[in-house]
Structure 1
Amino acid sequence: MEFASAASEKHEIVIIGGGICGLATALAPHRKGLKSIVLERSETLRAYGGGIGLLPNAWRALDQLGVGSRLRSMAVLLQGDIGVGMLPITQHLIHWFVALPTHLLSGDKFPHDPKYIKQMTLELIKDFPSNIQEIIELSDLDSLSATHLRYRAPWDLVLGTMRKGTVTVAGDAMHVMGPFVGQGGASGLEDAVVLGRCLSMAMSGIEGNSKKEKIAKIEAGLDQYVKERRMRVLGLSTLTYLIGIIVGSTSPLVKMVAGFALAILFRDRAAHIHFDCGRL
């Protein structure tokens, strides 16, 4: 796997973005003997950022990528109250977040000044344990930020085109979703395993084929990847979409309708963690 800036070079597999899904997607074909190049805006690998929760299905994907055992030795149990989470990164560094209903951050209310972000957060968690308030109080201002949660509506996943020629999407580019079930990063890892498997099968033994035949086989492999992932990410996106409506809406009627839909479509709310993306 290489890291390079964009240039007029030819590579069989080019991956745009060196985040969680991008690096996993590079690792998957690498383990199948396929070379790839990763194009990333940052000049170096970043050793900072937010924490990520990993559910059992994510660990299955990481095991297929060959890094599960090492990461298990570094993992920390995430604990936190509803709307507030904290994850120790090092002895002197903690990643924390506070999730707020949309109406509290709409329009002119959306905070940009770090001082106001800290002030607003402390006011909102004034009834939480003192140790949580102390951690936020001691946070450096330049480390604070507020952002809207982004998501892709479920119907976009049904109707959207996820492949064009020999180009496809994975991770947030395919299925950005709310954090309500902790599957955003995990589903990106699943994407990497499935894409690596489909590409390696499509590219196996194509050296003697013509360029047109090679392209046709790669496109067929990408179509298989999209087929395998579409219904999985549609289910996750629908689940997080409905929960997001319940959390963010101020209308009791809208909350009730979303709640009924959630109860009908997802009777087992934990079923998504039992998913297995299969072998690489």
Structure 2
Amino acid sequence: MAAVQEDIVIVGAGIAGLTTSLGLHRLGIRSLVLESSSSLRITGFAFTTWTNAWRALDAVGLGDSLRQHHQRLCGNVAISTISGLQTTKMSFEAKGKHGDHEVRCVQRRMLLEALANELPSGTIRFSSKVVNVEESGFYKIVHLADGTILRTKVLIGCDGVNSVVAKWLGFKNPAFTGRCAIRGCVDFKRSHGFGTKFMQFFGKGDRSGFLPCNDTTVYWFFTWTPSSFSQEKEIEDNPSEMKQLVLSKLGKISDEVRAIIENTDLDGITSSPLRYRHPWELLWGNISKGNVCVAGDALHPMTPDIGQGGCAALEDGVVLARCLAEALLKQPSGLEKAEKEEYKRIEMGLNKYAKERRWRSVELITTAYMVGFFQQADGKLLSLLRDKLFAGYLAGVLLRRADFDCGKLNN
């Protein structure tokens, strides 16, 4: 079968892949997005969208439309499920070095559809699973499961924690933290009355959070440590057991909050193991190599403890589109050397992207892991330190890591 020529192939139609494609489209550059699923992947229901993410969404022109459907959160409250007492309270209305903070809980389906709807027809190709990548001079040859062969000038891996492209670059599979997350979303069909606060609860090795998306919808999560791998696998495919597990571990929590879990339909609950990339892999590994790079979870899988996985993917998309456009929009100096010159410009553009994202990714992965370690502390001493000494500091870390500006599409 003859190879089909494409200038830019993006593997994965998740947050990073679609943001990169939209950023390139805004700059007048076409790309093809390959998605292995038959439709957009909306696993996870929603995610906390911090200040840095809104700057990225504004950069690609989607901020205002998404704001209309998601209420702004005013602050964060942390409560101990052991004592039932509040351990810390933090306002999101503080100013950062890059301006006012803005925090909302965005529904994943709405974000992905907003990104996809702004792309030209035919940009996303569904049911397109990449099985192999080969080199061919200044091009990469991408083989799909259905036998299709693509020849591309640029290959971008946004294909998640089990990324084929990350593996090609030499990255190992992400490490399992030993913890799992159960996530849910409930639509009350009427005003839920929970206000505009992000409520977090900490107990004996468990952590849960409840965030309103709008007046009727509440997203929640519960992170825990299974006693064995088999316990995790038993629960993973049984939403009823997930629900009962969460309800059994909520401790001293108000009936109002407990009702959020009780009112969640079983098809609105999912579970997944928490994985992360060792930060030293990013220090020494190849985020980009020649005309290939990775972004999103393929680059920096992290634990959800500071709510930055999806936000960082949005940042990646803006920075990557900007760096790649700078390389592709320059005119070659001569026809004979045009192909080689273009490859070199692409390589330099991707190297620039990798340089911008390396330390940011390391910082976020490390912070998320350490915050998770303290927040889910089970021992008496660590629980005391968390609730009495570190509560305010841990809460403040969320805003500090969100106080970041990835810049505009055009420098």
Contact 1:245 1:254 in 2 (8 A): no
Contact 2:19 2:60 in 1 (8 A): yes
Whole-Å Cα distance in 2 between the matches of residues 197 and 167 of structure 1? 16
- Asked whether 1:15 is paired with 2:143, we answer no
Query: Which secondary structure state, in structure 2, belongs to the residue aligned with residue 80 of structure 1?
Result: strand
TM-score by length of 2: 0.58
Match of 1:212 in 2: 340
Match of 2:200 in 1: 81
Q: Deviation at 1:74?
A: 1.6
Q: Quick one: structure 1 residues 167 and 31, their matched pair in 2 at CA, closer, same or farther if it must change by over 3 Å?
A: same
Match of 1:95 in 2: 219
- 1:60-111 deviation line (CA, Å, top 9, x unaligned): 11111111111111223353223222444784x54322222x2x45333322
Aligned counterpart for 1:168 among listed residues 271, 290, 293: 293
Whole-Å Cα distance in 2 between the matches of residues 254 and 49 of structure 1? 30
Q: Which has the higher strand share?
A: 2
Contact 2:15 2:310 in 1 (8 A): yes
TM-score by length of 1: 0.84
Match of 2:373 in 1: 245
- 1:123-166 deviation line (CA, Å, top 9, x unaligned): 11253221332232233333333222111121111111111221
Q: Quick one: structure 1 residues 254 and 119, their matched pair in 2 at CA, closer, same or farther if it must change by over 3 Å?
A: closer
Q: Quick one: structure 1 residues 47 and 242, their matched pair in 2 at CA, closer, same or farther if it must change by over 3 Å?
A: closer
Whole-Å Cα distance in 2 between the matches of residues 105 and 37 of structure 1? 43
Q: Which has the higher helix share?
A: 1
Q: Relative to structure 2, which stretch is displaced further, 154-163 or 202-211?
A: 202-211
Q: Relative to structure 2, which stretch is displaced further, 270-279 or 227-236?
A: 270-279
- Asked whether 1:139 is paired with 2:139, we answer no
**Long gaps (5+) in structure 1:** 1-6
Whole-Å Cα distance in 1 between the matches of residues 42 and 312 of structure 2? 22
Whole-Å Cα distance in 2 between the matches of residues 21 and 60 of structure 1? 15
Query: Which secondary structure state, in structure 2, belongs to the residue aligned with residue 127 of structure 1?
Result: coil
Query: Which secondary structure state, in structure 1, belongs to the residue aligned with residue 305 of structure 2?
Result: coil
Whole-Å Cα distance in 1 between the matches of residues 331 and 381 of structure 2? 57
Q: Quick one: structure 1 residues 139 and 251, their matched pair in 2 at CA, closer, same or farther if it must change by over 3 Å?
A: closer
Whole-Å Cα distance in 2 between the matches of residues 255 and 164 of structure 1? 44
Q: Deviation at 1:238?
A: 1.4
Contact 2:20 2:318 in 1 (8 A): yes
The residue type paired with residue 66 of structure 1 is: G
Contact 2:44 2:270 in 1 (8 A): no
Q: Quick one: structure 1 residues 139 and 272, their matched pair in 2 at CA, closer, same or farther if it must change by over 3 Å?
A: closer
Whole-Å Cα distance in 2 between the matches of residues 172 and 278 of structure 1? 21
The residue type paired with residue 129 of structure 1 is: S
**Percent identical:** 39
Query: Which secondary structure state, in structure 1, belongs to the residue aligned with residue 200 of structure 2?
Result: coil
Match of 1:228 in 2: 356
- Asked whether 1:273 is paired with 2:405, we answer no
Match of 2:228 in 1: 106
The residue type paired with residue 64 of structure 2 is: S
Q: Relative to structure 2, which stretch is displaced further, 42-51 or 14-23?
A: 42-51
Match of 1:3 in 2: none
Match of 1:124 in 2: 249
Q: Quick one: structure 1 residues 56 and 94, their matched pair in 2 at CA, closer, same or farther if it must change by over 3 Å?
A: closer
Q: Quick one: structure 1 residues 253 and 131, their matched pair in 2 at CA, closer, same or farther if it must change by over 3 Å?
A: closer
Query: Which secondary structure state, in structure 2, belongs to the residue aligned with residue 52 of structure 1?
Result: strand
Query: Which secondary structure state, in structure 1, belongs to the residue aligned with residue 22 of structure 2?
Result: helix
Q: Quick one: structure 1 residues 38 and 105, their matched pair in 2 at CA, closer, same or farther if it must change by over 3 Å?
A: farther
Query: Which secondary structure state, in structure 2, belongs to the residue aligned with residue 146 of structure 1?
Result: strand
Q: Relative to structure 2, which stretch is displaced further, 82-91 or 111-120?
A: 82-91
What's the Cα RMSD here?
3.1
The residue type paired with residue 344 of structure 2 is: A
Aligned length: 267
Q: Deviation at 1:255?
A: 9.2
